[in-house]
A and B are shown apart, each in its own frame.
Chain A
Amino acid sequence: MTLLRADAYQPHRFGTVEAAIMRVLLVAIVWWSLPSAKDVADLIAQKKPTGLAVLFDLTWLAKPGVFVGCQIVLGLGAALYLAKRFMLLATGTMALVHILIFTLDNSQGATNHAYQLLSLVLLAQFLTYLSPSIIRLIERWKKIKLPRLFGPDIRLDDLAIYYSQQTIAAAYLITGLTKLIRSKGLWAWQSPNISVELIKTNAQNFYNRLETDSTYEQRHQVAQWMIDNPMITRVLMGGGLVIELFAFIALRNRLWALVAGLAIIALHWGIDISMGLFFKYHIALVIIFYINLPYWIGRLIPAGEKLQRPPGTSTSE
């Protein structure tokens, strides 16, 4: 199949500055995503354990002082990551602390889907930096030489970004497939029923603080419009489903990543307007790894050429 031809999805090299900006922005959103010490202190029990919490009691994270310790460990990992030193240790500590905190947060009986993708991206980067050690171990154990998937010009840092992009695409593909599986393929057809969910979300948002925001009335109007125009609703919602199912197209090259990134942002914008659900960390990850503004700015301004230059290359190349 032409769409899935292997050579169309090869990883490419990223410029030194381009990759550095991605690292800074990733650290910023990881830090931004952390809950407050007060919120963590509330997590005194695991009402419905998930992930590692099934195997271990993680409530020790809620004890006074422990969360501050976690923040320090994460901060040290982030500092190493920004300095591009000991990347296995840096990504490992960042992924571990993020996963532990949000595993406990998600073990309270109310599953939240805001942080999984961020944790998964950190885990993907850690596994990328771990992979050479695992390959060496297998080669020594089996006394074989495993084939290399990519050329020698592709560095581990490029692969860390490439697999972060794959993780994001996987999350959207999973979302789309789950919709098709659980609705037995009828999701787009059933989509006018989402008007009921709009009213529910609107009411829930209101009862959080007994306040209505500027979109409260608008959301009621959208729900009524969906009920009045079921066929147009099916076309629009079906379009969103197509964006989710074909998010992997972003892995083809930077231009496709930009196109897919903009389509995903448009999808989230629609979800925010209609349902009041704003997936800020998903959007931030898409902006960093798909839209990749530093690269496109570098293409537009002559001085930005440096951004695009991978390490070890000169201007004469």
Chain B
Amino acid sequence: MTGQRQDKTSHRLRERWTKFWQHPRVRSTVRHPLFPLIALVAFCLIVEESYPFSDFPMYSSLSPGSHYFYLTDENDQALPIKALFGISASEMKKMYHSKLTPMAVKRSEKTGERVKASELNDADQTLAGDKLLDDLMPRADDRDWWDENAPKELRLIRVDIYRNDKALREEKQPITVRPMTPKASTASRSEQASGRAYLLTPNSELLPPAA
């Protein structure tokens, strides 16, 4: 009996599929010269980011606020990010958020309520900043800049920009500070990646109190 019912169901499904496939509008859509274009558009919008496919989300949602990050030394002098790590400030921001977003997801799973990355507290932001610097330090190897300019501290600063009616406003916030040992500039990549070449404790005086 069960076998007969299954046969009936599969027969019905096949009939429906044939009917759908033979519908003039479906046939004309599939045979349209632009069908591959439509299929690619639909596929990319569904999978979003999966190289080489993308939904190209740059500047797709424009809010009146935005932010960026930069690095300074112990004297608050800005440092050239490309010379330090071979990446751009924009890439550094994306890397920072790739650390922060999973923390928000974990927090959401723990609390059962959706927590946005922007709602995470200062301690979480500091942790994401530390993870970012952990990832960046191995990139310092073979970069000539470090030979003569190695700073005593590396400070990650976040700048928020707001559009306020007819003016723009900026707010700076230190995210994390990493004291560098003299060895850091000459240490091997593996030493730096494991944290042996520099101290991992952030300078608490410069950080906002953890909420």
The answer to whether A binds B is: yes
Contact surface of A with B, Cβ cutoff 8 Å: 4, 6, 9-11, 38-39, 42, 44-45, 47-48, 50-54, 99, 102-103, 106-113, 115-116, 119-120, 123, 147, 149-150, 163, 166-167, 169-171, 173-175, 177-179, 181-183, 187, 190-197, 199-201, 203-205, 207-210, 223, 227-228, 248, 251
Is B52 touching A123 in the complex (CB atoms < 8 A)? yes
In the complex, the 8 A-B pairs of residues with the closest C-beta atoms, listed nearest first: A51-B51, A119-B52, A110-B94, A109-B98, A110-B91, A204-B89, A193-B62, A207-B70
Separation of A193 and B44 alpha carbons in the complex (Å):
26
> In the bound complex, do residue B56 and residue A174 qualify as a contact, i.e. CB atoms below 8 Å apart?
yes
With both chains docked as a complex, state the minimum distance between the C-beta of B131 and any C-beta of chain A, in angstroms: 10
B66 cross-chain contacts in A, Cβ below 8 A: 196-197, 199-200
CB <8 Å contact, A196 and B51: no
Cross-chain contact A223 with B168 (CB below 8 angstroms): yes
Choose, from B32-40, B114-122, B196-204, the stretch at the interface: B32-40
Q: Is B54 part of the binding interface, using a Cβ–Cβ cutoff of 8 Å? A: yes
A177 contacts B45, C-beta separation under 8 Å: yes
The answer to whether B163 touches A102 (Cβ under 8 A) is no
Q: Which of B37, B64, B83, B167 contacts A209 (CB 8 A)?
A: B83
CB-based contact A6/B57 at 8 Å: no
Extra 15 A-B pairs, beta carbons < 8 Å, given A166-B40, A209-B80 = A6-B33, A6-B34, A11-B33, A44-B138, A99-B51, A110-B92, A116-B51, A149-B31, A181-B45, A183-B60, A183-B61, A190-B61, A196-B62, A196-B168, A204-B93
Chain A residues positioned under 8 Å from B86 (CB to CB): 39, 42
Is there contact, CB below 8 Å, between B37 and A166?
yes
Contact A203 B68 (CB under 8 A): yes
Q: Which residue on B lies nearest to A275, using beta carbons?
A: B59
Residues of B in contact with A (beta carbons under 8 Å apart): 28, 31-34, 36-37, 40-41, 44-45, 49-68, 70-71, 78-83, 86-95, 98-99, 135, 138-139, 142, 159, 161-163, 166-168, 189
B33, A10: Cβ atoms under 8 Å? Answer: yes
**Is there contact, CB below 8 Å, between A183 and B41?**
no
* Interface-central residue, B65, B83, B163, by most chain A CB under 10 Å: B163
Q: Judging by beta carbons under 8 Å apart, are A197 and B59 in contact?
A: yes
Instruction: Compute how far the CA of A209 lies from the CA of B33 in the bound complex, rounded to whole angstroms.
Output: 47
Contact between chains at B80 and A195 (CB < 8 Å): no
Q: How far is the CB of A67 from chain B (nearest CB, A)?
A: 15
Q: How far is the CB of A132 from chain B (nearest CB, A)?
A: 15
Bound-state CA distance A8–B91 (Å) is 42
CA distance A251 to B62 in the complex (A): 31
Check A173–B168 contact: CB distance below 8 A: no
Contacts of A227 in B (CB 8 A): 163, 166-168
- In the assembled complex, how far is the CB of residue B8 from the closest CB belonging to chain A, in whole angstroms? 24
* Cα separation A166 to B54 with both chains bound (whole Å): 16
- Check A113/B56 contact, CB under 8 A, given A167-B40, A197-B66, A209-B83: yes
Q: Among A9, A149, A170, A187, which residue has the most Cβ atoms of chain B within 10 A?
A: A170
| In the complex with contacts A149-B33, A173-B37, A203-B159 CB distance below 8 A | yes
Task: Sample 11 A-B pairs with CB under 8 A, ordered by A number.
Answer: A4-B34, A38-B142, A103-B52, A166-B37, A167-B40, A182-B57, A204-B90, A207-B71, A207-B89, A210-B80, A228-B166
| CB <8 Å contact, B139 and A178 | no
Q: Are B34 and A196 in contact (CB under 8 A)?
A: no
Nearest CB in chain A to that of B88: its residue: A208
Closest to B85 in A: A42
Among B52, B66, B79, B159, the one with the most A-chain Cβ atoms within 10 Å of its Cβ is: B52
Q: Which residue of A lies closest to B138 (CB)?
A: A44
Nearest CB on A from B48, distance (A)? 9
CA distance A223 to B80 in the complex (A): 24
Select from chain B the residue with minimum beta-carbon distance to A220: B168
- Min CB distance A115 to B, Å, is 8
Q: Is the CB of B56 within 8 A of A47?
A: no
Known: A227-B163, A251-B34. Is A113-B95 also a contact (CB below 8 A)?
A: no
Q: How far does the alpha carbon of A147 sit from the alpha carbon of B27 in the complex, in Å?
A: 11
Bound-complex Cα distance A177 to B88 (A): 28
Complex contact A110–B98 (CB within 8 A): yes
Contact B166 A170 (CB under 8 A): no
Contacts of B79 in A (CB 8 A): 210
Given that A149-B33, A193-B62 are contacting pairs, would A170 and B95 also be in contact in the complex, using a CB cutoff of 8 Å? no
**B163 CB contact (under 8 Å) in A48, A109, A116, A193:** A193
B89 close to A196 (CB less than 8 A): no
CB-CB nearest in chain A for B92? A110
Residues on B with beta carbons closer than 8 Å to the beta carbon of A191: 62
Alpha-carbon distance A228/B92, docked complex (angstroms): 31
